[in-house]
């Protein structure tokens, strides 16, 4: 970088001098009126073009043709086509018997960077092993649609495959989705599902051989 105090040859002061504008405002420019009328003319031209000329309903704004230059998508009459990779809102995946596949392990709530998943776990009265979510809520307004909850879930119990987005609401609380709104869609079953492997829901006997012996307790 050159030193600003460095002398420049060929200038009266010997230092660099920025070029000065030769333009002098005329009385017409200082009156502002021509500029005001010019601006009104441009705005009117666009207004009447958009008001009277037909509008290409193509939702792809850049591909629109015609005299109307409006670029607003008239949602919900017009809906843009989502890209193929669009995830959509969450759903809790049901089992074939209609219960949620979720076993309330809290992994999704733990990994969620927006801290917008709230779970309360419960136990089935006839099954002492399995848990299920008594409450499972997602604050969709806080959600950043990162999909980490889907990745973290060990039971394929939460998916973002609905292809829908959040509907506008008037009440903040209406955007918190509970099980009643999340549990929907096609039921999913995997061969590895433990509820297919167990013969009964009875607790294991006390003398059952555990694959991993308990660690000694430090005293
Ligand atoms: S998509 Fe991301 S931000 Fe939204 S609930 Fe899942 S983990 Fe949280
Ligand atoms: S990670 Fe899956 S199984 Fe665990 S609480 Fe979340 S949705 Fe339920």
- Calpha distance 135→157 (Å, rounded): 14
Does ligand 2 lie within 6 Å of residue 93's CB atom? Answer: no
Please compute the mean of the pLDDT values over residues 48-62 and round it to a whole number: 87
Please compute the mean of the pLDDT values over residues 203-210 and round it to a whole number: 49
Which is nearest to 177 in space by CA: 207, 136, 126, 216? 136
pLDDT at 217: 54
Element (H, E) at 150: helix 148-152
Report the atom number in ligand 1 closest to the C-alpha of 144. Answer: 3
pLDDT band of residue 20 (cuts 50, 70, 90) is confident
Does ligand 2 lie within 6 Å of residue 107's CB atom? Answer: yes
Residue whose CB lies within 8 A of the most ligand 2 atoms, among 117, 151, 153, for a mutation test: 153
- Calpha distance 24→118 (Å, rounded): 67
Gap from CA of 148 to ligand 1 centroid (Å): 6
Tokens of 25: 């405002």
Gap from CA of 161 to ligand 1 centroid (Å): 13
pLDDT at 182: 95
Does ligand 1 lie within 6 Å of residue 116's CB atom? Answer: yes
Sign of CA dihedral 148, 151, 155, 160: positive
pLDDT at 123: 86
The pair phi, psi for residue 137, each rounded to 5°, is -125, 140
Gap from CA of 192 to ligand 2 centroid (Å): 16
Using an 8 Å Cβ cutoff, are 149 and 91 in contact?
Answer: no
Gap from CA of 107 to ligand 2 centroid (Å): 6
Does ligand 2 lie within 6 Å of residue 106's CB atom? Answer: yes
Secondary structure class of 38 (helix, strand, coil):
helix
* Domain 91-197, CATH among 3.30.70.3270, 3.55.10.10, 3.30.70.1150, 3.40.50.2030: 3.30.70.3270
This prediction has a pTM of 0.65
pLDDT digits (tens, 9 = 90+) for 59-114: 888 888 888 888 888 888 888 888 888 888 999 999 888 889 999 999 999 999 99
Question: Which region among 129-133, 147-151, 173-177 has the lowest average model confidence (pLDDT)?
Answer: 129-133
pLDDT at 6: 59
Range(s) within the chain of domains with CATH label 3.30.70.3270: 91-197
Per the listing, tokens 């006839």 go with 126
Gap from CA of 214 to ligand 2 centroid (Å): 26
Protein residue whose Cα sits closest to atom 6 of ligand 2 = 108
- Does the pLDDT value for residue 211 go beyond 50? no
């Amino acid at each position: 970088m050159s030193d600003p105090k460095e002398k420049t040859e060929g200038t009266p002061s010997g230092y660099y001098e920025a070029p000065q504008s030769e333009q002098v405002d005329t009385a017409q420019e200082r009156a502002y009126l021509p500029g005001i009328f010019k601006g009104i003319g441009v705005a009117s031209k666009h207004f009447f073009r958009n008001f009277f000329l037909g509008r290409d309903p193509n939702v792809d704004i850049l591909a629109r043709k015609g005299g109307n230059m409006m670029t607003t998508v008239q949602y919900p009459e017009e809906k843009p086509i989502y890209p193929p990779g669009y995830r959509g809102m969450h759903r809790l995946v049901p089992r074939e018997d209609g219960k949620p596949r979720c076993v309330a392990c809290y992994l999704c709530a733990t990994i969620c960077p927006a801290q917008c998943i709230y779970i309360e776990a419960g136990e089935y009265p006839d099954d002492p092993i399995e848990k299920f979510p008594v409450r499972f809520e997602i604050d969709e307004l806080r959600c950043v649609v990162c999909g980490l909850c889907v990745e973290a879930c060990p039971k394929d119990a939460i998916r973002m495959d609905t292809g829908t987005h959040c509907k506008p609401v008037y009440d903040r609380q209406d955007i918190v989705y509970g099980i009643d709104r999340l549990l929907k869609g096609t039921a999913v079953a995997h061969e590895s599902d433990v509820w297919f492997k167990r013969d009964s829901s009875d607790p294991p006997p006390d003398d059952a051989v555990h694959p991993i012996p308990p660690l000694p307790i430090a005293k």
